[in-house]
Amino acid sequence: MLSRFFLQFIQCLLIFTAIITSPLYLFAAESRDAIEHEAGFYYTVQKGDTLWDLSERFFDVAWQWPDLWQENRQISNPHWIYPGERIRLYLRKGIETPIQTDMGSRMCQEKEPSYYLYPSIDKIGFIRKEPVTACGTIFKAKDDKYNISQGDLVFIRQENGTSFGVGERYTVYRTCNPLEDKKKSAAIGTQYYITGVIEITKTEPDFAVGRIVSSFRSIQPDDLLMPFTKRSPKILMNESVKGLSGKILVSEEHERIFAEDTIAFIDKGTEDGVTPGQFYNIFYQEKGRFNPKMKEDAPLTPMDLGTLLVLHTENTTSTVLITRSVEDIHPEENIRSMMQ
């Protein structure tokens, strides 16, 4: 008798568990506004595969590869995947949201726009023709420390009529020598090199005291301040401008040779239709006379060097991230639209 009662109890418990864990019950019980759902399968990485290639092969859109990376958190560096590694390829991913109609509620799918997650967005600099008006200058650090870092106290001289307030934050920067287009004998702009973020802790009539809340590089006396604006690390994907061509000006650290994961600057900006989230190809193109009767060299087949992603734009320049490189990349390399 006890065994029969025990079996009936177990059966009831299983039925009750099945009911309360069903999607419909959970939706009604928790009154959730959205239910995430997904479907997909696994793929084993082969030699030569990249997330860019896999995204193009399985989703027909190469620049959606950040979504593939986001869904495979075991990949620490999206630019390095290895043969034998298993990657889940999501055929569909979205948010189902209940919509009220005359017939009751129904579910519709809304897909979040694709984006590239770049957590270090606040540390990237830019090149601008128009000068930035400095709000202040660090003229001294506590204990006369020269290489200033996070947590250090500094003394700031107010510039250009700025009035500091306690709790306000400012971006710390320094400038590099202005860049010039030697072929056109024209100024390109000044590079602004971001070194950290400071918060004002005390104000005096002639100066202010601040604490370094973030140090991206070594901060030094004479570094300047500009208003701090928090930028979103989500770079929404956008289609590249058709027919656009330009060049890489320089890398942020002025390396002679660089590769993927490097921040650089290009000579195209908002005036050219460039926006954050666009991808462009990096390439080189040699010239030659494929016909002995030719009098001048002609352009030969462009050779792929890699891919870049636009992170920030100014009027005539943009800050970019090298996301893929198949060979060494140098300043003055050519760039062009993805569809060319």
Query: pLDDT tens-digit profile of 49-75?
Result: 888 888 877 766 777 788 788 778 788
In contact, 143 and 154? CB cutoff 8 Å = no
* DSSP conformation class of 123: G
Q: Which amino acid is at 139?
A: F
In contact, 234 and 115? CB cutoff 8 Å = yes
User: What pLDDT shows up at residue 338?
Assistant: 80
pLDDT at 257 over 90: yes
CATH level 3 topology of 238-337: Thrombin, subunit H (2.40.10)
User: What pLDDT shows up at residue 247?
Assistant: 96
pLDDT at 196 over 70: yes
User: What pLDDT shows up at residue 175?
Assistant: 97
Rounded to two decimals, the pTM is 0.69
pLDDT at 203 over 90: yes
Work out whether strand 318-325 and strand 303-313 pair parallel, antiparallel, or are unpaired: antiparallel
> How is residue 87 written in tokens?
């990657």
Name the CATH code of domain 17-112 (choices 3.20.20.20, 3.10.350.10, 3.40.710.10, 3.40.50.2000).
Answer: 3.10.350.10
In contact, 196 and 220? CB cutoff 8 Å = no
In whole angstroms, what is the distance from residue 124 CA to residue 192 CA? 9
List where CATH 3.10.350.10 sits in the chain. Answer: 17-112
Round to the nearest angstrom and report the end-to-end CA distance of the chain.
80
List where CATH 2.40.10 sits in the chain. Answer: 238-337
